[in-house]
A and B are shown apart, each in its own frame.
Chain A
């Protein structure tokens, strides 16, 4: 099985990733698929502010898989993350002619903590973002809590 370390990758400090996540808007929700460390700390999917807090607190390097053959682990900062994100439509085979699902444009990064063999995905979760907005709209209609 190919590992991030063995292929083209950059080193990305978690505080730089936090900056980038923050810049996408703290109302944007995120999912982490496969990282025992972050999923032990945060209930995913989560809004950006919760993820940013943990990435800043952890403050350690990540490796990010990239599609650039000459990448050999050079450090990158938040400003270069837009250039290495993939879109979910690239991870799934969409049926030709069918309307694109609403998550098709969601961004993701394939990552591991430096020194860890566990590889995982950080995925923008536009569905959870919309769910959250819907929940907010519904919350003004009343509650059974305390009933």
Chain B
């Protein structure tokens, strides 16, 4: 029987209908991050177990697994990017009502985009969601601006370079390699092009040859996940600490502008860590 005609326009339009509610953990950026990270890992573990049952077609299994590892890599990195966006969005929503300086001018907002974000009730989502957060320099710049003291240039670096924080500089370098690998997998379907290789060679300070097809291993994904998990936890803690200090300073400079207890409770919930805003204590709520 020949292929029957299908109303593909309708079928594609139907795709956004295939959804379910977000879990409660999605309200807290770091919980949302961990949930997705563990889910990707569990999916891989399940598929690996299902595949590794003494198949007679090992070459086929290996090829498919490598492709799945590529998908997992992208999932893990996109999950980390989403975490940064959600954390930044929360920072913007906390700070925006209490500041009048130019801290948000670095975002490329368009009037045409406002309507789509009207229903969110969040200036943070409007500013942070449409942007890509895929380079340490851009991420540093945005968080530095968002979390700067009022009318001051800002000195907070989420991914510090060797001069700013020598012992954490390796993380920034490693993160840059991760962003570049993501580029190869997303934009070149797993091919390290000659230009990708040149960049990776400089970042990794190792010989990298292009053009080559990236053939990921299970260990690659395991180490990437662990690196991103630890980096997400560290970022969450550093952002929470900085935002807490900023909100305390705003209160000190302009008493009455904000209610410290309200923000202490909010930040403890959103960043899942105990905080103190201008003397008001916020505890992590029970799960």
State whether B42 touches A103 (Cβ < 8 A): no
CB-CB < 8 A to A145: which residues of B?
A: 170
Query: By the criterion CB–CB under 8 Å, are B287 and A95 in contact?
Result: no
Task: Choose one: B45, B54, B170, B229; the contact of A146 (CB below 8 Å).
Answer: B170
Quick one: CB contact mask for B162-173 with A, threshold 8 Å, 1 for yes?
Answer: 000011011000
How many interface contacts (CB-CB < 8 Å) are there between A and B?
Answer: 79
Contacts of A33 in B (CB 8 A): 42, 45-46
Chain A residues, CB < 8 A from B182: none
Interface residues of B in 31-57 (CB under 8 A from A): 31-32, 34-35, 37-39, 41-42, 45-46, 49-50, 52-56
Binding stretch for chain B, among A4-12, A17-25, A39-47, A74-82: A39-47
Residues of A within 8 Å of B169, CB to CB, are: 146
Q: Looking across the interface, which residue of chain A has its beta carbon closest to that of B222?
A: A131
Q: Please give the distance in Å from A16's CB to the nearest CB on chain B.
A: 18
Chain A residues positioned under 8 Å from B166 (CB to CB): 146
Interface size on A, residues (CB 8 A): 32
Contacts of B105 on A, CB cut-off 8 Å?
A: none
Knowing A31-B45, A58-B287, A146-B170, the reply to whether A42 touches B53 (Cβ < 8 A) is no
Q: Does B262 contact A (CB under 8 A)?
A: no
Q: Bound complex: CA of A145 vs CA of B23, how far in Å?
A: 36
- Which B residues are within 8 Å of any A CB, using their own CB? 23-25, 28, 31-32, 34-35, 37-39, 41-42, 45-46, 49-50, 52-56, 166-167, 169-170, 219, 222, 225-226, 229, 287
List of 4 A-B pairs having minimum Cβ-Cβ separation, nearest first: A98-B54, A40-B31, A39-B38, A40-B25
10 residue pairs bridging A and B, Cβ less than 8 Å apart: A33-B42, A36-B23, A39-B34, A39-B39, A40-B23, A41-B34, A43-B38, A58-B287, A103-B52, A123-B45
